[in-house]
Amino acid sequence: MSKPIHILNGPNLNLLGTREPEVYGSMSLADIEQACTAHARDLGFSIVFRQSNHEGELIDWLHDANVNASAIVFNPGAYTHTSVALHDAVRAIEPPVIEVHLSQTAAREAFRHHSYIASAARGSITGLGLNSYLLGITAAAGCIETQ
C-alpha cells in the first residue's frame, strides 16, 4: 500500500459553507473531506486531510508530507498570493504537489491573479469547486503512478 495523499488546506477554509457561498459554494470543509476520502479510496489511496489558519503549521505539514505522503493536494487559500515561505517549502519537498482552488482566482480581484505556489507545484486546478479537489486527487494519483 502506498503512502496516503495529503490534502492540506489554508486559512479561512474552515469557514466553507458559510463564508461567501456565492464564491466558494455551500459545501463545508467536512463535506469536501468526505468526497475526497471516497474519491481517493476509489483510486486505491487513503488521505490525510488537514486545515490550518497558520502559515508555519502548513509549512510543518509540507515537511511532514515529504516523508509520509505519496503526493499532496494543496489549497493554500490566501497564502497563495503572499507566501514565499510556502513556495519554498513546496520546492523543498519530493512528493508532487497539486495546487487547487475552489474559485477561479484569475477571474477575481487583481491581487489574486498571482500564485507563489504555481511555479513550485506540479500543476494547478482552479475554479471548479469540489471538482478542483477531485481532479487534484486524480492528478496526484497519476503523478504517483509515473514515479
Q: 53 among the known binding-site residues?
A: no
- State the residue range of the domain holding 99: 5-145
Consecutive 10-residue runs of the chain (147 residues): their mean pLDDT?
Answer: 93 87 79 98 97 98 98 95 95 98 73 83 95 98 85
Active site residue 101: yes
Q: Tell me the average pLDDT of the chain.
A: 92
What CATH number is associated with residue 87?
Answer: 3.40.50.9100
**Rounded distance, CA 66 to CA 44, Å?**
20
Q: 42 among the known binding-site residues?
A: no
Q: 75 among the known binding-site residues?
A: yes
Q: 68 among the known binding-site residues?
A: no
pTM of the prediction?
Answer: 0.92
Q: How many domains is the chain partitioned into structurally?
A: 1
